[in-house]
Amino acid sequence: MMRHLRGRKRRRSHFQNKQRTKKGKKSIRQMKREKFLQRQAEEQAAAKDQLKSQCLSYLSQWKHDKQNWKFMKAKQVWLYKNKFSSTLLPDASWPLLLEYFESAKGNIRNMLLEDAHKVIKKMDEWTEAQSGKDKKEEEAEDSDTEESNKPDSTSYKRARDLIQCLEE
């Protein structure tokens, strides 16, 4: 029986593999799993970047090449969901998006106004909470948590722009 295994590697038993991993080395299954998860995360990041560039080119095509532009619900939904994000939607594209939303018809217009009013309301509530407290109390208590509750200034500015644009 040993003659048959002479040229091949011997298979380790489950117990031997467990002891090997206890010494600090990762099992093959664990290494494969980590590699798979890393590859999957990279693919998701690449897909997000690709979608972002597709949506921005969709917006640009709407503005500059209306003959070949075609309405795409998925792209509009992405633009709607990320309208206040300065990382996903650069400031240079914001005026173009405003123009696009200004021409929007139907329920999307109401939804845009609702979202913008929510951001404005959140900022107003935060401002009132800040003015209502004494400066001494604010410093003594959780000044870090108060800063984390503050709405993003870019979102606030974009919400104001959106309201002005759509309510005219």
Domain limits of the chain? 27-166
Residue 151 CB: number of other CB atoms within 10 A?
A: 19
Global confidence as pTM: 0.69
Per-residue pLDDT of 125-148, as tens digits, reads 888 888 877 554 655 555 555 555
CA dihedral 136, 130, 84, 166 (to 10 degrees): -160
Mean pLDDT, rounded, for 152-161: 92
Distance CA 65, CA 160 (A): 28
Q: Quick one: tokens of 118?
A: 């929510």
pLDDT over 90 for what percent of the chain? Answer: 62
Distance CA 63, CA 61 (A): 5
Distance CA 82, CA 31 (A): 36
Report residue 66: phi and psi, to 5°.
-65, -20
Question: Cα 161 to chain center, whole Å?
Answer: 22
Per-residue pLDDT of 14-69, as tens digits, reads 555 555 555 678 899 999 999 999 999 999 999 999 999 999 999 999 999 999 99
Mean pLDDT, rounded, for 138-166: 76
